[in-house]
Structure 1
Amino acid sequence: MVKMMDLDPNVNIKTQLEEGNTNPVILLNKFIVRPEDIEIFLKVFENTTKIMKQQPGFISAQLHQGIAGSHTFFNYGVWESAAHFKRAFNSPEFQKAMYELPEDTVMSPHLFKKVAISDICVD
């Protein structure tokens, strides 16, 4: 089974999902995968993302891998709201597919919102 590890020690993903946020959110999900499990991880990521793409509120997803032989991955997903992500995350199809992830995978999902900084970025 995948091990869940919080990115923020003060706020976990379960707390974020209960907030009822109706604004767009960004899911950053860090995965640490054993080198021998990378191929399996990539296949499961493909399958789970295909499930998520069919869910209401899904906008986009992009997977990134660390360079220089890293076996750390980041998924960047965009959702219409935390409520949409919560429904998709809790769907039976997605939960079932998650059990296919390699056993010692460490997963750290966290939801973010855009922050506006004048002359640098918009919200």
Structure 2
Amino acid sequence: MSLLKSLDEKFPLERQLGIAAAPVVLINLFALDAADESGFLDAWTDDAHFMKQQPGFISTQLHRAIGDSPTYLNYAVWDSTEAFRAAFTHPEFVAKLSAYPSSAVASPHLFRKVAVSGICAA
């Protein structure tokens, strides 16, 4: 992948990986050229197959922006930051990043669910 860009420059993914939290949700926003969508989907599918086999993986869902926007959002649930970190830094996964089209820019960020009384549970 040509570029990893933080959603929050003040607290990039590298810092998030050092925080013990469970469970965690990865939100990864991908921007790319429309001509690269097929190559992007092939690379993402290969990555998803790898991640699905890793300890602590719970689920993932890829979303595409509506209309003509070649923007994608991946939502993935992990047992813990530790499990995600082990998978994300695994040499086999890191090697797969070069399969993404050069136009692809990924913006990964980790989240935890928030409880809001009467609305949603954590």
TM range (shorter): over 0.9
Q: Are residue 49 (structure 1) and residue 48 (structure 2) matched? A: yes
SS at match of 2:67: coil
SS at match of 2:113: coil
SS at match of 1:39: helix
**Structure 2 partner of 1:17:** 17
**Structure 2 partner of 1:112:** 111
Runs of 4+, deviation exceeding 6 Å: none
**Structure 2 partner of 1:3:** 3
- Alignment of structure 1 residues 79-94 onto 2, 5 Å: 79-94=78-93
Structure 1 length-normalised TM: 0.96
Deviations 1:8-60 (A, max 9, x none): 12210000001132x10000000001111000000000000100000000000
CA RMSD of aligned residues (A): 0.8
Gaps of 5+ in 1: none
- Report the Cα offset of residue 84 of structure 1: 0.3
Cα distance in 2, alignment partners of residues 39 and 57 from structure 1: 29
Aligned residues: 122
Cα distance in 1, alignment partners of residues 26 and 2 from structure 2: 18
Deviations 1:57-99 (A, max 9, x none): 0000000000111110000000000110000001111111111
Structure 2 length-normalised TM: 0.97
